[in-house]
Each structure stands twice: as structure tokens, then as C-alpha cells.
Amino acid sequence: MIRALLLCACALLAAPSLSVAQAPAPAAPTNWQSLTPQQQQLLHSFQGKWDSLPADRQQALAKGSSRWLSMTPQQRASAQQRFGQWRAMSPQQRQELRQRFQQFKSLSPEQQQHVREQFQKFKQMSPQRRQELRKQWRQMTPEQRRRVTQRVALSGHRNLR
């Protein structure tokens, strides 16, 4: 059970902070004038080159600025902290995190909820206990990790019935 919590925690580390496109639809250019004044202020550094940006980049910036403006100060601080952690990662670590996030997104909504609940339990543990579980996880062989992953998946199915 404890090892299962660790696995769940690893699977969720990226979930709140990453955005992965499912099936990219053709993007239509976003007109600078269609942005709100608050979005224009937030994206002012892109104003001079806005029309030369690819349409999908324009849409991503517009969507991201809208989301940013809707956040509370606490949510913004949390997002900035996660972005700092992301930037500090090596390209290999980023790729591994993307893969774990894709695995999480491939779960059913019920399985995702189970993982979230297990992660909350993990977060409520003492820092010493979490560190101990991380150490145990790092010491496992790939085969041991695979078995733990399977047990977590099965326990999630049983708990959802």
C-alpha cells in the first residue's frame, strides 16, 4: 500500500502543471485586437511579432493569458513555482514527466480520481515518511516497480466497485 502511494504520487507530479494537446486541430490565427486589454498588457512583449507567430502559438498564448488572469494570487504563485521546477529539469526529466502525464491521462476518470486520492494521502504523510518511500522506490528494480504499478491499478479497480 505504501509503495502504491509513492507510485501514485509520481504519476501526479505533472498533472496540475502540464498541458498536453490531445489531437491538434488546425489553429486559426488570433487577431491581436481580439485580445482583452488585460491580455494585451500581459502579452505586450509579443505585440510587435504577434502576426508572425504560428496560429497555434497565438492561440496557446491567448488561452494561457486568459487562464493566468483568472487565477488567484495564490494560484499564480504556485504556477510560478511549478514553472521554475520545470525549467530546472533536464530534457530527459521533462520527457519522463511528459510520459508519466500521458500515462495518467490514459486512465479512466475513475482511475484518475483514485490516483488523486492516493496522492492526497501521500501528501498528508510526514516528510520523513515520504522521503523513506521515495528511497524505497528508487531502490526497486524495474520489475518490482512494474509489479507495484499493476497492484495499484488493480486496487484502484477494486476500490471503485
User: For the segment 74-86, what is each residue's pLDDT rounded down to a tens digit?
Assistant: 999 999 999 999 9
User: Could you list the residue range(s) of the whole structural domain that residue 75 is in?
Assistant: 2-15+55-159
Confirm whether 40 is domain-assigned.
no
Confirm whether 153 is domain-assigned.
yes
Confirm whether 27 is domain-assigned.
no
Confirm whether 145 is domain-assigned.
yes
pLDDT at residue 159 in the model:
52
What's at 105, amino acid-wise? K
pLDDT at residue 8 in the model:
40
What's at 123, amino acid-wise? K
pLDDT at residue 158 in the model:
57
Are 1 and 94 in contact by the 8 Å Cβ rule? The answer is no
Inform me whether the pLDDT recorded for 146 exceeds 90.
no
The grid coordinates of residue 149 equal: 504499478
Confirm whether 32 is domain-assigned.
no
Confirm whether 141 is domain-assigned.
yes
Inform me whether the pLDDT recorded for 88 exceeds 90.
yes
CA separation for the pair 35, 53 (Å, rounded) = 15
Inform me whether the pLDDT recorded for 157 exceeds 90.
no
Percent of the chain with pLDDT over 70: 79
Confirm whether 41 is domain-assigned.
no
Q: Give the tens place of pLDDT for each residue, 93-108.
A: 999 999 999 998 998 8
What's at 52, amino acid-wise? S
DSSP assigned state of 71: S
Nearest to 68 by CA among 83, 56, 53: 83
Confirm whether 124 is domain-assigned.
yes
0.95 surpassed by pTM? no
Q: Quote the number of domains for the chain.
A: 1
The grid coordinates of residue 44 equal: 505586450
pLDDT at residue 84 in the model:
95
